[in-house]
Every structure is written in C-alpha cells, then in structure tokens.
Structure 1
Amino acid sequence: MSSDAPVGARPPAGKTFFGHPRALSTLFLTEMWERFSFYGMRAILVLYLTAAVADGGLDLGESSANAVYGTYNAMVYLMALPGGWVADRLIGARRSVLWGGVVIAAGHYVMAIPTGWSVFAGMALIVLGTGLLKPNISTMVGDLYERDSPRRDAGFSIFYMGINLGAFIAPLITGFLGEKINWHLGFGAAAVGMTFGVLQYVLGRRNLGEAGARPADPLLGADRRRALTRVGVASVVVLAVLLVLLVAGWFTVDTVVNLLTVVTVLVTVGYFARILTDWEISGTERSRMKAYVWLFLFAASFWLIYDQAGSVLNIFAADQTDRSVGGFTFPASWLQSVNPILIIIGAPLAAALWLKLGHRVSTPTKFAVGLVLNGLSFVLMAAAAQAAVGGDLVSPLWLVAVYAIQVAGELSLSPVGLSATTKLAPVKYASQMLGLWFLATAVGDAIGGQVARLAGTWSQPVYFLTFGLASVVLGLAAVMFTRQIRHLMAGIH
C-alpha cells in the first residue's frame, strides 16, 4: 500500500467483482437502493408541488417549485460536508453509511403520510441522512484502491453504474404510482427501496474488511467534547433563526430558499479558505487543492444546468410533450429514466475507455469535454422549446436526445470527479473532501434553482440558448487552462 493512501484503506482480499475488490459489490448495491429512493422521490417532487390541490398536489407556482427543487438538491449535497466530518472525526465511514440509510428511510416513510406538511418534514430527514451516507460510501470505494491506480477510475465508473441502475428503475415505479394513483404512494415506494438498501448493507458488511472501519482523524477526550458542544450550539442557533422567521411572519418558501442559497455559497467559500490556510497540510497538498478549486468551479457550473432535468425539463415533459402511446399517456416522470439507462449503457464503455487511455487524457480535459457537451444539450433544448411555441406538443424524442448529450458529458465529468477528489484530497480531510465534491453539486443546484426562476419570465428558447452557450464557452476556456491546472495537481493525473 502506498504511503499516501487514505487512512484506514486496506482493500479486502478474496473474490472479485468484475475484476475489482469484492467489497465493491456491497457498496454498489447499497448505493443502488439509496439512489432508487432519492431519484424515485425526486422524479415526482416538482410535479407534486405544482399539481392542483384537487389533484392531490400543493398547487405551488412553477417558479417557487423549481427553486424548492434546486434548494432541496443543494441541501442534500451540502450536508455531505458535515457528514464527512462526522465520519472522519467521530464514528467512521462505515457506521455513517448505516445510520444515514436508516434516517433516509425514515424520511421517505414520513413523506408517505398523506398530508402537506409531511413532504417538507420528510425532505429534512432525507437531507440529514444523505449527508451521512453519500460522501462516505464514495470514500469507502476509494479505500479499495491505491491512490493513483489506473483501475481507480474504472472502479468508480462501475460504482456509478449502480447509482444509475437505481435511478432508472425508480421513476418507472414511483412515477406511475404518484402520477396515476396517489403522490404519497409514490413517496412510499421510495421508502421501501431505501429499506432494502439498509438490509443489503448490513448483510454485506463482512466483505468490507477494514474499509471505513475507523475515523480517519478521530477526536478524543476534551477535543471531542468541545466539538460536540459546538455542534449543539450551532443547532440551537439554526433553530432560533427558524423561530424568528416564523414569529416575524417571514417563514415562507421563497425566504427559506433564498436563505439556504446564500448559506450554501458562504459555506463553500469558508471551507475552501479553511483547507487552503491549514498549516498541517503539506505544500504539495495545498497545490493540489488549488487545482481542485478550478475543478470544483467547473463541476458546479455543470450541475447548474444538468440538474434542471428534474425541474424545468420535467415540467416541459409534463406540459409540452406528446406522451400518448397506443391510447396510453405515460407519466412525465418516466422520461427521468432515460438519463440513467443511457448511463448504464455508457458507464462500462467509459470505464474501459479511461482504463485504456490511462494517463494520456488528463482530468481537466475530461471536465472541459463535459462542460461543452452539457452546453450543447441546452442549445438543442432551445430548438425543442422553439418547436413548442404556440402550444404545439412536441415529440419526447427531443428530451431523449438532450439527455443523451448530457449523459456523454456526465460520464466525462462526474465519475472522474469522484476519483479525482479522492486522489487530490489531503490525508487529513479524506472523507470531508468527498463532502466538498458533493458541495459542488450543492452550489450548482442552489444557484440553478434561482436561475430556473428565469424560465418562467424569459421565453424558453432564449433561456435554454443563453445558458447552453455559456456552458460551451466555459468548457472551451477550461481547455486553455488545462496545462496550468495539471501543474498544480503535482503529479496526480
């Protein structure tokens, strides 16, 4: 094992999973069921929020619903940061994944209660649980490989395929139950999926060896008590702020969404500042973190556009596409399964490609390709929106083509970004760096939720074309700075 491998990383020996450590199968299936629950709920969330009360929805305006959706996604990924801290300093990645799964399942069961308040209460629990599970299960995947092994990208691509297997199945089930029968029944199906995930993880933990068994940098004695006190004080402050908003009559959807967007950006800036000024990390680690800042900005810009699939594009699917096949009108949320099935097909190809190319194509170049493709998808979406001007229903194949382009971009950026994060991470911040990677999605989704408000005021063709071209330009700019970023990465490819 190399000297710069993550703390606690001891890849278990024994049978393999597609040529990779057997433990990858346990983490693969756990993540599959967690993503089933997450994407199953997400596929119908905006549709439920905007549905009329008579149809069992909350009758929230599209602008606010899009912002809620973006902020919810942002909070899911923002909480990955404290979730990584809990694993690194308190209980280890393995137990964090277990308790995270239990809390997520509880949140989905709360959402299944047929009342309006249950949805927001359930989302709060899911946010907390996903923060514990999401970064730490990815850290455990990284623990199975040497720091700069070429097989590492391939392993993360296979793991990514498990994510999308759950994401593919989920909308087909929750979408039919939610749109055709009852919204809360759809949320209940997501709860059952997460329950399967927890059970599978408990039964398969024997395969994990030492991966995630202990905290990377545990807090002990007085330091532990001091940290827990600060957590308690922070929790009281948050509750006090919410109480003030409630008493003052400012506790509205838009106020909370705007506040959380600001918090997400401030937390990001503060956390990068903390790592870069930490005297305990080496000069090489600091240089790699400077490179990571650029990768982070590219990733946030990518998710700003990409994750509108569940909000702006989902509403477009519901209102402006012809979904009738043989007299049956299929649920709009079923189109949310297109993206993951394409990734299921493409992920093994991407894994083989990265393994074959080895270090010949750098991580920054892969990110640039992802940005350009993501932008081109919105340029195509502008053409689809133009075809729908005047109230005509367009073929859902427009959305299929848009998702296909986005998938190519995602496979160039997302699994590669996961792997790059574990390679560039200072040892002291092993699990927290995975939280920081997911914070890129949080920033993108939080700002994207605010940007999505413009979809209700701008013409759709102008909206999609503007942000599509912006992403293409950013991707081309990223290509120009590839050499400088690689230099900062200090030998990491």
Structure 2
Amino acid sequence: MSNITTNNSGELFGHPKGLFILFFTELWERFSYYGMRAILVLFIYSSISDGGMGWTKEEALGLYGWYTMLVYLMSIPGGLLADRLVGQKKAVMIGGVLLCAGHLVLAVPGQAAFFAGLTLIVLGVGALKPNISTMVGGLYKKGDIRRDKGFTIFYIGINIGAFLSSISVAYVAELYGWHYGFGLAGIGMIVGQIVYVWGQKFLKGVGDFIPKKSESGEDNRKALTKVEKDRMLVLFLSFIIIIVFWGAFEQAGGLMNIYTNEKIDRTIFGTEIPAGVFQSVNSFFIMTFGTLVAAYWAKRRIKGLEESSLFKMAIGTIIMGTGFIMMTAAAVDADASTDGKGALIWLILAYFLHTIGELCASPVALSFITKLAPVKYASFMMGAYFAATGLGNKVAGLLGEYSASWGELETFTGIAIFAILFGVVLILALKPLKRLTHGAEDGEAEVA
C-alpha cells in the first residue's frame, strides 16, 4: 500500500510546503488537460478545410463522452498501481511522463497521431490524477481541519491552470491552427513535470510505497472492520452524487461549448470572442470565489450549523442545477431573437452558478475520501471517485448527443429539474448517510 502520513518538510502560509509542489504540478497538468479540452470538440467537428476532422456534432460529442469517461475510469487501475506496486509518488511520475508524450503527439497532424495522443493522455491521467489528490490528503494528520482548506487551495491551483489554458490555447488554436493549440497544452505539462521532479525534497514520506505493512506494523491484508465497511459503503453511495453532478456539469466542454459557438452572441466591444475562451469563465470564478466559499463553510462550522461533506455536496448539486435555468433562459432568448442567438449574460450567469456549486461539492468530495477510506484502499477509493467522475462525463456526452433530437431548451430544463430534485432528496437522506460515517468528520480541529 501507499504511505499517506504527514511529512516533516516545514510549512508555508500555514500549510505543508509539499502542498504547493502538488499545487503547481496539478496547475500545469490541468493547464494541459483543460487547454486541450477547450478546443477538442470544436476541432473534431470543424470542417477539414478549416483544419478539423470534419465529424458531425453528434459524433464529436460521442467521442468527447467516451474520451472523458475513459480518462477518469483509468483512475481505478491507476489507484491499484499505487496501492499494490509503486506507491502514489512514483505513479504520479509515470502519469506525468505519459501525459507529456500524449499532448505532444496531439500536436502532430494526422488521425493516427490524434488517437495515439488521446490514448496516452487517458493512461497518463489515470496514473496521475487519483494519486496526486491522495498525496494532498497525506500531508495532513488525522483530524487536522486544515485538510479541507488544503484541498481548496489545491483546487484553486487546478483552476488557475484551467483559466490560463482555456484563454491561451483557444487563441493560439484560433490564430495559428488547432495543432499549435495542442502543442501549447503539451508545453504546460512539461513545466508541471519539471516542478514535480524538483519538489521531491518537500514530499518525503508522502506517497511512498510500503509493501504488506503500515508504519504501525499493522498487516494491510487484514479484513475490514464494521466501521470501515460502513464508511466504504457511504463513499460508494456518494459516488452516485458525483455521477449526477458531473453528468450535468460537464456539459460545459460539450453541449454548452457548441451552443456557445453557434447560439450565443459572443461579440464584446465589436470583437467576436472564440467560443473556447469561455471555458475559462468557470476557472476565473473559482479563483475569485474559492476562498470565500471555504470561509462561508468554516463560519458555519464555528456557529455549529450543518456543514458535513454530504450536505455540501447536496447544496452544490442544487446550486449547479439552477445554473441550467440560466441556460434555459439563453435558449428562450435565442429562439426569440432575430439572429437566433442568446445574450452572453445568460452563459456567464450559468457558469457562475455552476462554479459555486462546484466549490461546494468537488474539493469537499476529495477531502471526504481521504477522511473515510481505509488506508490500504486510499488510492483505489480515490481512483473510484474519479471513475465515477468519468461515468458522469459519459452521461454528459450522451445528454449532448440526445440534445440533437430533444432540443437544447428541453435538455437544459430537464437537467435543471433533475439536479435540483436530486439535491433535495439527498438532504432528506442526510441523517442515515451521516450515521454510516461513524463520526469521521467529528472533532476536527486546527493542528499546529
């Protein structure tokens, strides 16, 4: 299994220095991923004369769904790779190398290079994503309230990378061609790998592989206790929330991206903005409101109000669902306008609400797993979380495909209603779900 105990490399801004190595590594890894994602669907369905692949929109959304699903499904074997063979630290290193290769191969024109690049990225994300997240949890001792804050900081790093790449990669692709955009994403991944290699000295004792026994000498093959089984059960149940949340949220890279390109008035001060640039709006809002949302939940904790991880995830799903009401308004606006395009403000409001929902649900879910998962299954459970994210991405792709026959207005409205109702049902089921955690989130306090 992997060792996830805290390290002794000192602190920076009240957190272990290793957090900031993982922060910048993930920043650049997400720069590469989201930069490529911002132009992927647009590249696939653009005409061959425009440098694209010339597929239909339905085919492009179908491939997007399969790709994003497989990217995250590979987190399960990636977690097992760490738990059983090499440890989290080496798994992240292997994933980084594969990602560098994959993004650079995408910069080469040709269908064979395109699919080879996607395959390498799928394998690379599978090895890196679950294990770098588990390493963040391993920086903190049990019961350290800074863990949630640490994951929020880490999450902001993810979105700084996504923000910078969505703008820069989209503009490079627009001005110089699709493959130059893919190449810029690859350069970002190389920078992230350099940061990770350089920062190993700050990650001593975190993510190392220890066969058979933990530091305490406990045999990791021992059967799970009743408490551990209950906690595993609630984690698997929480993955249903993840599938629903990301199934709706990930319309951003597919259906909403195409809708923005075709049916949103993107002209600002006389200049039409490339559709891919608006993929940066979500990241901008996360950087702007990330600490404020974290502070809000911390204040609720101080007041003794409900702020469990499951409650936050439910509220996040409801808020995200209301974002699709804004997209419904955009569709109504587009249908009523003479040029067939809706106002940009509806898209911005949708991204704002999606972001607040994401900040309530996603970083909290990552922290929740590191609190509840048995140590010997830490990377596997993080991998299962990302696999649930992958299934959500596939659901997103299917919804995007079906929207061609359903209509965008009906699709956006249906997603809004389902997400809001699902969040309400989750709140109603909160007490029995919390009992299964056996107080894993109780008694958290600041750790010096």
Residue equivalent to 1:389: 335
Partner of 2:415: 467
Alpha-carbon contact 1:175-1:331 (below 8 Å) kept = yes
Shift of 1:354: 3.5
Is the Cα contact below 8 Å between 2:51 and 2:178 reproduced in 1?
A: yes
Which whole-Å CA distance do the structure 1 matches of 2:110 and 2:377 have between them? Answer: 41
1:347 aligns with: 290
Report the Cα distance in structure 2 between the residues aligned to 1:357 and 1:18, rounded to whole angstroms.
23
| Structure 2 residue aligned with 1:9 | 4
Deviates more, 1:377-386 or 1:389-398: 389-398
Q: Distance in 2 between matches of 1:480 and 1:286?
A: 23
Residue type matched to 2:410 in 1? V
1:39-438 equivalence runs, <5 A: 39-215=34-210, 217=212, 280-358=223-301, 360=305, 361-389=307-335, 391-438=339-386
- Post-superposition shift, 1:179? 2.3
Distance 1:22 1:50, change over 3 A: same
Pairwise CA distance, 1:117: 2.5
Q: 1:339 to 1:90 in 2, by over 3 A?
A: same
Runs of 4+ in 1 over 6 A off after TM superposition: none
Question: Comparing 323-332 with 150-159, which one deviates more in the overlay?
Answer: 323-332
Local SS of the residue matching 1:146: coil
Tell me the equivalent position of 2:32. Answer: 37
- What residue number does 1:455 align with? 403
Q: Quote how far apart the aligned CAs of 1:406 are.
A: 0.5
- Deviations 1:353-396 (Å, cap 9, x if unpaired)? 33443474111111110111111111221111111116422222
> Aligned partner of 2:323: which letter?
S
Shift of 1:433: 0.9
Compute the displacement of 1:181 (Å).
Answer: 2.1
Once the 2 structures are TM-superposed, how far is the Cα of residue 148 of structure 1 from its aligned partner?
2.9
What residue in structure 1 maps to residue 392 of structure 2?
444
Distance 1:73 1:199 in 2: 26
Q: Which residue of 1 aligns with 2:440?
A: 492
Give per-residue Cα distances to partners, 1:34-81, cap 9 Å, x unaligned: 000000000000000110111011111111211211221111110111
- 1:426-451 Cα offsets, whole Å, 9 max, x none, are 22211111101111101111122112
- CA deviation after TM superposition for structure 1 residue 14, in Å: 4.5
Query: Runs of 5+ in structure 1 lacking a partner?
Result: 1-5, 219-277
What is the identity percentage for the equivalent residue pairs of Structure 1 and Structure 2? Answer: 40
Instruction: Give the TM-score, by structure 2 length.
Output: 0.93
Spell out, residue by residue over 1:99-139, the C-alpha distance to the aligned partner (whole angstroms, 9 max, x if none). 11111010011100011232221011000011111011011
How big is the alpha-carbon RMSD for the aligned residues of Structure 1 and Structure 2? 1.8
Amino acid aligned to 2:317 = L
**Per-residue CA distance 1:282-319 (angstroms, 9 max, x = gap):** 11011111211221111110000001100100001111
Per-residue CA deviation, residues 195-251 of structure 1 (Å, 9 max, x unaligned), is 000011111110112001224658xxxxxxxxxxxxxxxxxxxxxxxxxxxxxxxxx
Separation in 2, partners of 1:398, 1:454 = 22
Q: Provide the rounded CA distance (Å) in 2 between the counterparts of 1:129 and 1:174.
A: 20
For 1:423, the aligned partner's letter is: K
Aligned residues of 2:334 and 2:343 also touching (Cα < 8 A): no
**CA positional deviation for 1:322:** 1.7
Letter in 1 for 2:267: S
- C-alpha change, 1:216 and 1:132, in structure 2 (3 Å) is farther
The offset of 1:147, in angstroms, is 2.8
CA shift for structure 1 position 149: 2.1
CA 191–389 in structure 1, closer or farther in 2 if over 3 Å, else same: same
- Kindly provide the amino acid, as one letter, of the partner of residue 395 in structure 1: A
SS of 1:75's equivalent?
helix
Counterpart of 1:241? none
Letter in 1 for 2:175: K
Q: Does the Cα contact within 8 Å between 1:70 and 1:449 map onto a contact in 2?
A: yes
Following the alignment from structure 1 to structure 2, what is the Cα–Cα distance between the partners of residues 383 and 170? 28
Q: SS of the counterpart of 1:211?
A: coil
1:279 shift after superposition:
7.7
Distance 2:199 2:9 in 1: 14
SS at match of 1:152: helix
Query: Would the alpha carbon gap of residues 7 and 191 (structure 1) be closer, same or farther in structure 2, given more than 3 Å must change?
Result: closer
Q: Which moved more, 1:439-448 or 1:43-52?
A: 439-448
Q: Which runs of 5+ in 2 are unaligned?
A: 214-220, 442-448
C-alpha contact (below 8 Å) 2:333/2:343 kept by paired residues: no
Which amino acid letter does the alignment assign opposite residue 249 of structure 2?
Answer: Y
SS in 1 for 2:258: helix
Does structure 2 retain, via aligned residues, the 8 Å contact 1:178–1:185? yes
Counterpart Cα distance in 2 of 1:357 and 1:378: 27
